[in-house]
């Protein structure tokens, strides 16, 4: 059930983009443990949002995360990108991201 929309984007329903569970970690915040995506997972999320939305904010976030991770960790994070986010056209999602 969709609860509504905000600027044309459905709200209230999780929008499933991939079948594989997100890579997460737990952090402590204010004495509580919360589960968040790993930095590598955040990078992959931003990468797929670049492909879907092509929004400046996603490019900026991707660059900031890539800078934080460093070249080797970025390469590791994106190694399985095509498997995680197969494209309907059969093209390489990673190659689309690099263009």
pLDDT digits (tens, 9 = 90+) for 13-69: 456 688 889 999 999 999 999 999 999 999 999 999 999 999 999 999 999 999 999
Q: Where are the domains of the chain?
A: 36-99
How crowded is residue 62: how many other Cβ atoms within 10 Å of its Cβ?
Answer: 20
The DSSP call for residue 23 is P
CA distance 64 to 18: 24
CA distance 84 to 17: 9
pLDDT digits (tens, 9 = 90+) for 66-91: 999 999 999 999 999 999 999 989 99
**pTM, rounded to two decimals:** 0.82
How crowded is residue 71: how many other Cβ atoms within 10 Å of its Cβ?
Answer: 9
């Amino acid at each position: 059930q969709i609860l509504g929309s905000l600027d044309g984007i459905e709200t209230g329903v999780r929008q499933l983009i991939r079948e594989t569970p997100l890579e997460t970690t737990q952090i402590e915040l204010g004495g509580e443990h919360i589960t968040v995506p790993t930095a590598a997972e955040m990078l992959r999320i931003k990468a797929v949002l670049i492909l879907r939305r092509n929004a400046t904010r996603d490019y900026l976030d991707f660059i900031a995360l890539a800078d934080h991770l460093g070249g080797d960790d970025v390469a590791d994070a994106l190694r399985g990108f095509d498997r995680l986010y197969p494209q309907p056209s059969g093209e390489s999602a990673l190659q689309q991201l690099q263009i």
